[in-house]
Structure 1
Amino acid sequence: MLARLFPMPSHSLMLLIVWLMLNTTLSLGHILLGSVLAIVIPLICAPLRVPQPKIKRPFKAMLYVLVVLTDIVVANVQVALLVVGPQRKIKPGFVAIPLDLTDVLPITVLASTVTMTPGTVSGELSSDKKWLYVHVLDMPDNEQDVIDLVKNRYEARVKEIFGC
């Protein structure tokens, strides 16, 4: 009974807290209206929830964050040197990366990682979710190098984290 009334209790609590903070008063009317909204909104949204894969290896996830942060710092320096350096021979291009991932959340994590790393942007995910199109600021002569980097450095780790 209680689980049906509060399908997402943490969301209900957060909605109530945010509602009261936005109204800046603790009057009975605001508390009651906030409570009603905190119950009704999750009830309406509960059927829209999509089950997400769980992180199977949290330690690997922490290591992944460190790898990505390191790559972001290194890529920032590389892009800065490329843009303001004496030789501005930038060769932009797109590369299609075949994906082994199938779930939406791991694909989103991979695409976000690519986008957060300076010099690359995730452009599009194919409708069948088998290809990620990535724009590269300075495309190497062999586009397979970019594919191998994304697949071996990022996708393989994301697969481990989510147990795909």
Structure 2
Amino acid sequence: MARRAFFWLLPHPFLTILLAVVWILLQNELSAGMAVFGLILGILIPWGTSIWWPDTPSGFHVGRMFSYSLMVIWDIIKANIEVAWIVLSVSNDKLKPAWIVVPLDLVQPEAITILAGTITLTPGTVSADLSDEGHSLLVHVLHTNDPDAVRDEIKTRYEARLKEIFT
């Protein structure tokens, strides 16, 4: 009963926290008034839009998401260097771009969205399309000698961790 009341007041607690933090960062100053107003926005926006959300979140592991975020930041830094090296050292006629279909084991829309965003944020790869049934993701890779290895890396490095986060 208490859990139901909590989700009525805060239907998406992670979004509430995220909106409050973003509000404070956008104001470029930390004051009690801005923090309270950010928290009010963080409560009202998810509450007012909750009727359009399919489900309330369940089984989300914040600690694992934090470590996933650190890993993605590291991968973005590393991929920036790799893409710069490709651009500077590989001639256009020797580039090997590829379209890769990544079959998905994820079923939660939030997890699929985070996976697609992770792929797009990482330089050299772009999520281009999600199948109608949500069973596969179409990814474009700037340069690869082995498209299967890229697909396997996406599944083991990102999708497997997101399955642990959204259990």
TM-score normalised by length of structure 2: 0.68
- Equivalences for 1:10-159 in 2 at 5 Å? 45-54=49-58, 56-85=60-89, 87-88=91-92, 89-140=94-145, 142-159=146-163
Shift of the 82–130 alpha-carbon distance from structure 1 to 2, 3 Å rule, reads same
Give the Cα–Cα distance (whole angstroms) in 1 for the partners of residues 119 and 154 of structure 2. Answer: 8
Q: Are the equivalent residues in 2 in contact too, given 1:8–1:46 (CA < 8 A)?
A: no
Deviation >6 Å, runs of 4+ = 6-10, 41-44
Structure 2: which 5+ runs fail to align? Answer: 24-43
Shift of the 43–54 alpha-carbon distance from structure 1 to 2, 3 Å rule, reads closer
Structure 1: which 5+ runs fail to align? Answer: 18-38
Aligned equivalent of 1:26: none
Give the Cα–Cα distance (whole angstroms) in 2 for the partners of residues 43 and 155 of structure 1. Answer: 29
Q: Are the equivalent residues in 1 in contact too, given 2:98–2:147 (CA < 8 A)?
A: no
Amino-acid identity (%): 40
Aligned residue pair count = 134
Highest Rg: 1 or 2? 1
- RMSD across aligned C-alpha pairs, in angstroms? 3.0
Shift of the 143–7 alpha-carbon distance from structure 1 to 2, 3 Å rule, reads same
